Amino acid sequence: MSDLVRRRVVVHGHVQGVFFRDSCRREASRRGVAGWVTNRRDGTVEAVLEGDPAAVDAVVGWCERGPRGADVERVEVSEEEPEGLSEFGVR
């Protein structure tokens, strides 16, 4: 598991109501990244991404753009210890 990374991202901007969560789930699944994504009460979207470093970086990069209709202002990224997640879900 030492070759896995885990990053928590919080995406700010117009990111709710634009299919951000489902689009993020599809992007993560396509790249073999596990974790979850959720809408937060403050209007941001939070995601935990765990997997191969290059694949996680690619999904973080996708979060910086988001799906069509999103207007991402900024993304906060923090490193965490991997937990060995095996699936990606929408919360």
Q: Which residues are catalytic?
A: 21, 39
Tokens of 49: 């991404």
Q: CA 4, 47, 66, 28: dihedral to nearest 10 degrees? A: 40
Classify strands 5-14 and 71-80 as parallel, antiparallel or unpaired. antiparallel
Angle, CA of 68, 19 and 35, to the nearest 5°: 115
Q: Could you give the CA distance from residue 9 to residue 39 in angstroms, rounded to a whole number?
A: 12
